[in-house]
Structures are given as structure tokens and as C-alpha cells.
Structure 1
Amino acid sequence: MSRAAKIVLFLLALAMFISSLLLEVDYTHTEILKKMKMLVIQLAVILFAAKLMGEFFIKFLKQPAVLGELLAGVIIGPFALGSIELPILHSPLFPKYPDFPVSPELYGVATVASIILLFLAGLETDFQQFLKQSLTGTLVGIGGVLGAFVFGNLITVWFGLAPKGFMDPVALFMGTISVATSVGITARVLSEQKQLDSPEGTSILAGAVIDDVLGILILAVVVGMVSAEGVMGGPKEKELKELMDKAVYAHKKHDYVQSAEIHQTLAKEYQNLEKARQRTLQERPKKAQEEHHVDWKQVGLIGYKAFGFWLGITIVGIILAGRISWFLKLFNQGTMMALGLALALLISGLAESVGLAAIIGAYAIGLALSKERISDELEHAFQGLYNCFVPVFFAVMGMLVDIPKMLDTSILTYSIVFTVVAIFVKVLGCGLPSYLTGFNTKGALRIGVGMLPRGEVALIVAGVGLASGVISQSMFGVAVAMTLITTLIAPPVLVKIFDDTPGRYKDMGGKEEKVSSAPGPVLSLDDVEPSLVYPCFHYISIALEEKGYETKMLSHRPDHIYQASKGDITMEIREKSSQILFDFPEESKSEIQDILKEALKRLRADIGQLKPRNIGKEEDGKKEN
């Protein structure tokens, strides 16, 4: 076929394709089919935008992919390009929803992605290092929570947005919003920088666990106080929500008359509800308004459930890790990955049932398995899922940003001050305890900045306040602005401050560790076929462990990196293009060379046992017989 004929054929086929999309036919699709149609198209657009923007940030801006994925979400989200109505869909690609910026289906996919991310973060964590940093992590979590809550509350009072002072529901909610740390974003950056296994990385992850548990307790107290104040929504609010849903549905059906009538009814009902609430507050005795009764017994039970679940599942997971590992090794890589994901989803769902974030359950079970050899195989098996799902999570986080609300001049000053204070107190509140427990100034700064990003939890808390009528749309915009800015600031700063300098003091006396500037010897395996990279690492790891080394995969994204340690000796094995490089101390050169020769000898022997056979000839021979 000639080139001209191919062009004509292509144009005809393209015209048929576009016309078939634009042609309106009245199909009798059920609601669930319509939702699934939108979901698959949304996921396709998100993956295209997030991955391409992430690659742009990595290759051209030399920044973490997470920044590009977040920005891609902002650009294509419901508050930007996603709100434009498309003729093909007869609706926007990412329509706004009454209670949340994105659909429950899309947010569900993002939640699964966050579970995968934190499960892998747990698998990549050095368990022994995590135990060493548990005290620091606890102090980091407590310091960050207390500082963020108190100052977030006080700033709101200082700007006159909380008439009743520190215990005003608005101030309490804004303080709670500033507490939560988005460990998923930090974990992604640490993983890309090969620092997830460092003392600072394990301290951040340990601190994030404490941060999440304390955040749940504070939210429970705040909700209890607000409920006692009589501000939280009741049956009437549920009726109004149903009316709002009907209005949105009518608008989608292009029944603008019914939509307008419902909105008029909503406006009147909200006015009546606000008048009734104000009347109730005025008639209530002054003493009753100032007293806030908290069911401390209930708060105590919530705290027990949160701490009890996390400690319980981690300890049980550690005890059963060997048996779980043995069970997973009975299957091929695909089944092993599926069963590992099922375990992470199960524990995450149980975590949600006791009031913890699902990602904490995923991290706990990943941490329990991290001390077993199966952790490296699971990380390798999950690589494809990671590359597809995790960018969706960060893009959806970007979609939650309401840009017009951020630019509301009436509250812009408060938004700026609230964000600056939220940054300062989080870094100081988490960095100071780190400094007091053996980290130097740079190490403490790394931990403080690592705990800085707010994310999905902060937005969910803000949504609770907005839905209950405690905070306004403008205050919700402040929460979104703070979340976005802290999330965008942390990754590039983390990349900048995580250099080769140590983050800890050698002892509490204040003497800093000294790192020799002279590089150790480097051995390399050259021209390694990509398909042999993982087997090479596997055999080398086995040989090292037989000589008493403890091995751990630090990362398989984008290249494999292993760390091996024995006593004071630490070496790094990493992939670079078609090479496998070995960095180790001078005194270990002879031993490492012997280990490497033994590993390669075993690999060649096992490959040599694979004897090809000509099936066609064998079958011909059988026929002749």
C-alpha cells in the first residue's frame, strides 16, 4: 500500500472514530455503568498526565516525580481544566461533587494506591534501624502534634475568626487540620533519594505513626466538644444533603428548571436552620456555652483501640513473619504479589475499622515482613503495580486543591500567616526532639522537613468541618492552601538537604561523626543483561549472608540498590546502566572479591543446569517410533 493510500485510510478511520463518539444515541445505561465509564476514562487521563509530568520533573527540572504528579492533578482537576464540559462525554471529565471534589470511585482507587505505597515503604524499612529510632519517632510525633495544634488554634483566635477563644469549634478544627502529616508524600521522596532506610527516614516514619494516632485522638476530642456545643449536623442536615444530591443529578440531566427550584428550597432551608441555631445559642445560659463536656471515657477507648491495634498487629506480624514468608514462597511471583497485596488491604481495612488511617495498617504489616528475605522479592514483584497506581494517588491529592478559594482576598492574609506558622511549628516541633535524642542540626532539620507535608488526612478533617457547618468555604480554602504549599515545599527541600553529610552525633557528648572523603574501593560487573540483574543481586545477597552480612534492598526504583553490613563494615551494591557496582571499605576488598566469585560461580552453575531441548525433534522421534 502506498504512503498516500495509508494517509487517506488513516484519515477516514479517524473521521469514523470521532463521528461515532460525537453521535448522540439514547442508550439505556444504568447508573453504575455510567460511573464505570467515567472512572476508566479518568484513570487513563490521570496516568497520562501524572507520568508525563513526573518524567518532565525528573529529567528536566531534576526534582522528584511526586511534584510533577501533584501539579498534574491540580491542572486536570475539577477546579481547573477538569471542569470544562466535553462534547464527547456531555459533562466535565472531573465534575465537582457536593461533599468532596472527586468521585468516591476515584478516591477509592487513590486509597488503594496509598496502601500500596505505604506497604512498600514498610517493606523497605530496616527493622533494626526502626527499633533504634522508636524513641525519637515517639518524641517527634508528640512534638509535631502539640506544636501544630496549639499554634494553629491560636492564629485562628488572633485573627478574630473564633469569637469564643481557644475552645471555639472553629479554632479547634483549624488546629486539628494543621496536625496531620502525609507520610505517603515523604516516603515517596525518601525512597527516590535512597534515604528511606536512613536514621532520619526511619525516625520520620516512626514519628508519622505516632502523629496519626495522636491526630485521631485530637479529632475525637474536638468532635466531642463540637457535638456538646450543638453545632454538628443532625437529621435536618441529612435531608439537605439529599436535596443537594438531587440538585446535582438534575443539573447533569440538563433539567435546569428542577435544579433551580431545588436550589431555592435549599437556600430557604439553610436560612431557617441558621436562624434556629443562633436562637438556640442565644437562649442557652452563658455558663452552658462556656462549658465543653467531653466524654473522656469514650476518648480513652478510642485511644486504646488505636494504640492497641497498631502495637498488636505489628507484634503479631513480627512473630508470624517467618510463617507468612514460608507460605508466600510456595507460589510463583504473580500469586505471591497478589497474596501480599491482599494481606496489606486486609490489615488496612481493619485499621480503618478502629479509627486509624488505612495507610498505617499497610505500613505496620510491611514493617513486620521487612526483616524477612521475602521482603526483597515482594518489592520486586510490586514494581509494576507501584508504577501504575502510586502516581494516581498523588494526582488525586492535587485534584483536591480549590484554586479560586485559595485566592479569596478576604481571607488571604490569614491564609498566608496560618501556612507560615504551620510550616515553622512543624519543623521546630519535630526537629527539636530529634536534636535532643542524638541528631545533629542537619539531621534534625531533615526530620522536621520530612514531617512537614500535610495531605489526605488534613483534607479529610477539613471536609468534616465543612460538612458539619463548623468552618466556612473560605476556611476550607485556607486548609487546602496550607496543605498544598507544605506538600510542594517539602520534596525539593528534602532533596536539597539529604546529601552525603551525616545526620547524627556519634554520642550524646556532641562529637559529630566524621566521614572520610576518600572513596572506598569499587568493583564492578560490566555488561550485565537487564534480565540477569535481579538474579545477580539475589545470588550475591545469599553469598554475603553466608559470610555473616545482613543484607537489605534499599530501593528498586529506578535502579536496584542493596546494603550489606557486618559489625562496623557497611557496603553498598547498586545497579548503574549495565553495571553492578560494589562500594566497600579498603580492608574488606579481599573478602568481597571472594564472595563475588562464589556468587557468580553458583549463578553460572545453576544457569548451566538449564538444558534446552528441541521439542519439535522429540515429537518427530515419537511419531517415527
Structure 2
Amino acid sequence: MNFIGALCLLLILTTLAGHLANRIGIPAVIGQIIVGIIVGPALLNWIHLDSALNLFSQIGVIILMFLGGLESNLKLLRKYLRPAIIVAIVGVIFPVIMIGAAALAYSFSPLEAAFIGVVFSATSVSISVAVLRDYQALDTKEGATILGAAVADDIIGVILLSIMISMMGTAGVKTSGAPTNLLVVFTEQIAFFGGTYLMVRWIVPYLMRIGERLLMTSSVTITSMVICLGMAWAADAVGLSGAVGAFFAGIAVAHTPYRATIENHMEPIGYAVFVPLFFVSIGLNMSLDHLGNSIVFVAVLTFLACVSKLLGCGLGALMNGFNIHSSYMIGSGMISRGEMGLITAQIGFSSGLLSGTYYSDLILVIILSTLIAPFLLKHAIRRLPDNDRANLPLDMD
């Protein structure tokens, strides 16, 4: 099926699936992911994730995270930075130990087991952002902690992955044709966050004022899109997820007078085409070819993938004074692996750490945990005490 036909079909199906999901009380993203599973290689095999669909899905996650940053409260993010870092650290330790130990029990080598643990230490907050936006919980102390922890989690994951690749003695992740050096990566990431501070504080407000003076239709929106894509590219260039750059681009634009205009323009652009294709792409990655031979292994890892993040990040939240309900919400918001888990697993497969069979199993576990995460997060939000739920979104004034 050619790209235009596939795009048309996917937009019809994701719209209907999202509608039905909302009607029966589950997050719309679940319906969209299931569409990818049904029409993809896992079941009907009608559509495959080709380069064009993959490009649209990448733009989708960038726009989604830009909107997440646009709706975030920078005061909250600063206030809950320390808890977010602790949540991220504890939330990385638990999966590495628990899932690594399980992999050892299945006769993986210590290096392979450690790498599998690293794969599931990653968090993709894009799924959680979609659910938090649906329930107006993005601009809360729990939402701020989830977002901050996910960014810290991304940095820790990149460092761990770089260490693993170095231990293998392979070329691994490359920059400009040369093997990645951990010190170089770390230095580049520090430079990125330094540049991000300058963008938020001075550069983006200046660029947005210039954009307003341009004699072009939607010039302010175009300027914000350039900032979004540019910061996403910069984050990717230093080994971080492009979603991280897009998130900070959203924060930067949010602190200009153009926030409402940009949100009103960008949301239709993202949710009309690109964001649904991001969720569909998760389902299109799924394959059931080897499930019969490894169903127990997949079930065990899926259980541990969910429990390790729920316990680890929840414990990190409790250590910082959150109550049990807020800690459950934060732990649930960190479960999704999404594109970060898929990217990490792909790097390991390309580097020879995993065979094709085990790579397929890990992809399936990543997708299953990503499917489960929105249900748990919705349940956690609904279990907040009435006085806490009344504060969604939280008023900082």
C-alpha cells in the first residue's frame, strides 16, 4: 500500500479507535497503539513502518513533547527538580537490578543481562504526557516530577548505554564517524543544557519577537516550529532523545507572550496527523513470530518492567515526602518505555549484544509495558484523594 493510502487509512482508524477508547473510558492512545498492532506485522500485515511513516512518527513525538513543555509550569519544574532527580536515579537502579537478575536466570551472559536491564531503565514520557494532558494533570506537582524525572532518566540512560557499548569494545553509537567517547558525550550534553538555559532566558523571546514582525501568515507559529525542530535536532546530536529538546523548546516558548497563540496553532497540527502516527508506530513495531517459544520469558519481563519502575520511582517519590497516592501516580507515569526503549534495544541489536529472536522479544515487552502504562496512570490519577484531585491543574499563584 502506498504512503498516501496508508496515511489515509491510519487516520481514519486512529480517529475511530480514539473515539471508541474514550467512550469506554480508556486513554485514546491505547486505541491508537492497538490500531498499529492490528494492521501491522503482528496481525493483518497490511502496513509496515517504512521510512515515511517513521519520519511522521518522529515528528509526532517531537510535537507532543513540545506541547507538553508549552503546558508545563517552570516554577513547578524548578521546585520539584531535586525529587525528580532522586526519582530518576532510584527508578533506574530497580530495573537494572531486577530485570538484569531475571535475564541471568534465563542464562544470558552478565554483559547481556546488564544490557537488558539498561534497556528497561529508560523511560519514554511521551505516552504519559498524552494521558496527563487528557486528565489536565500535566501542570501539577506529580506531573512536574514525572517530566523532570524523565529528562534525568534520559541522561542517565545515555550514559549507561555508552558505558555498555564501551565495555563491548564495539563501535556502538557513533558521532561524525568516530566511536562515542563517554567524556565527549557528557561534555556535549552539559553544553546542550547550558545552551538550553540561554534559549529559555534570552534567545527564544528575542526570536519570537522577530517572528512577529515578519510579513508572513502564521509567522509566529513558523518561528516556534523552527525553535522546536532545531532544539530537537540539537538534543539528538548530543545523544539525547529529540523529545527532550522539543520539551525544553516548549518551555522556552511558554515564557513568551505568544504561548496561547502557539498552543492553539500547534495542537491541531500535531493531533491531526503526526501524533496519532507516533502511537500507531509503536504497534507497527510489534511482531508475534517467536511468541510461542518465549511467552513465559516475555510475560516475566513485562511484569518486571512495570513493577520495577512502579516500585523504584514510587519509592523515590516517597523518599521526597510525596504521599502514597502521589507516589503511585509518579511511579505509574514512569513505566512507559516507548521510543526510548525501542531506540536502546535497536542500538544493542545493531552492536551485536542481542540475537534477532531476543531482540523481537524485548520489542514485544517494551510495547506491552507501554500499553499497560496508561491504564495504571489513569487509575493512579483517579485514586488521588478528593482534595488533591481538586487541585488539577495546580494553582501556583
TM-score relative to the length of structure 2:
0.91
Q: CA deviation at 1:423?
A: 1.4
1:64 equivalenced with 2:27 (yes/no): yes
Partner of 1:208: 150
Cα separation, partners in 2 of 1:471 and 1:134, compared to 1, 3 Å: same
CA contact (8 A) 2:62 2:232 kept: yes
Partner of 1:431: 314
| Aligned with residue 440 of structure 1, among 314, 319, 323 | 323
Partner of 1:159: 106
Name which structure has the greater RCO, CA cutoff 8 Å, separation 6+.
2
Name structure 2 gaps, 5 residues minimum: 174-178
Distance in 1, matches of 2:143 and 2:212, equals: 29
Distance in 2, matches of 1:325 and 1:469, equals: 46
1:124 equivalenced with 2:71 (yes/no): yes
Q: CA deviation at 1:74?
A: 0.7
Q: Counterpart of 1:189 in structure 2: which amino acid?
A: V
1:192 equivalenced with 2:143 (yes/no): no
Partner of 1:173: 115
Matches within 5 A, 1:327-366: 327-330=210-213, 334-366=218-250
Cα separation, partners in 2 of 1:158 and 1:362, compared to 1, 3 Å: same
1:51 equivalenced with 2:15 (yes/no): yes
1:468 equivalenced with 2:340 (yes/no): no
| Aligned with residue 381 of structure 2, among 476, 494, 498 | 498
Q: CA deviation at 1:203?
A: 0.5
Q: CA deviation at 1:396?
A: 0.8
Q: CA deviation at 1:208?
A: 0.5
Name structure 1 gaps, 5 residues minimum: 1-36, 84-92, 95-101, 234-294, 503-513, 521-553, 555-561, 567-625
Tell me, what secondary structure is at the counterpart of 2:45? Answer: helix
Matches within 5 A, 1:441-590: 441-499=324-382, 501=384, 515=387, 566=397
Give CA deviations for 1:345-388 in whole Å, capped at 9, x if unaligned.
Answer: 11111111111111111001111222333212211111211222
Distance in 1, matches of 2:295 and 2:55, equals: 32
Partner of 1:620: none
1:182 equivalenced with 2:124 (yes/no): yes
Q: CA deviation at 1:181?
A: 0.8
Q: Counterpart of 1:363 in structure 2: which amino acid?
A: F
Matches within 5 A, 1:2-401: 38-59=2-23, 61-83=24-46, 93-94=47-48, 102-162=49-109, 166=110, 168=111, 170-227=112-169, 298-330=181-213, 334-388=218-272, 389-401=274-286
Partner of 2:176: none
Tell me, what secondary structure is at the counterpart of 1:498? Answer: helix
Q: Counterpart of 1:343 in structure 2: which amino acid?
A: I
Tell me, what secondary structure is at the counterpart of 1:515? Answer: helix
CA contact (8 A) 2:11 2:276 kept: yes
Distance in 2, matches of 1:47 and 1:73, equals: 11
Distance in 2, matches of 1:492 and 1:156, equals: 26
Partner of 1:28: none
Give CA deviations for 1:508-560 in whole Å, capped at 9, x if unaligned.
Answer: xxxxxx9399x99xxxxxxxxxxxxxxxxxxxxxxxxxxxxxxxxx9xxxxxx
Distance in 2, matches of 1:174 and 1:427, equals: 18
Cα separation, partners in 2 of 1:384 and 1:402, compared to 1, 3 Å: same
Partner of 1:97: none
Q: Counterpart of 1:38 in structure 2: which amino acid?
A: N
Structure holding more helix per residue? 2
CA contact (8 A) 1:430 1:448 kept: yes
CA contact (8 A) 2:120 2:341 kept: yes
CA contact (8 A) 1:144 1:426 kept: yes
Tell me, what secondary structure is at the counterpart of 1:181? Answer: coil
CA contact (8 A) 2:224 2:253 kept: no
Tell me, what secondary structure is at the counterpart of 1:128? Answer: helix
Distance in 2, matches of 1:563 and 1:425, equals: 28
Give CA deviations for 1:465-516 in whole Å, capped at 9, x if unaligned.
Answer: 22333212221132122212211111122112213845xxxxxxxxxxx939
Deviates further, 190-199 or 336-345: 336-345
Deviates further, 312-321 or 130-139: 312-321
Partner of 1:404: 289
Distance in 2, matches of 1:188 and 1:496, equals: 15
Count residues in correspondence. Answer: 390
Distance in 1, matches of 2:217 and 2:333, equals: 33
Q: CA deviation at 1:201?
A: 0.5
Q: Counterpart of 2:327 in structure 1: which amino acid?
A: A
TM-score relative to the length of structure 1:
0.59
Deviates further, 181-190 or 41-50: 41-50
Cα separation, partners in 2 of 1:475 and 1:128, compared to 1, 3 Å: same
Larger Rg: 1
CA contact (8 A) 2:131 2:377 kept: yes
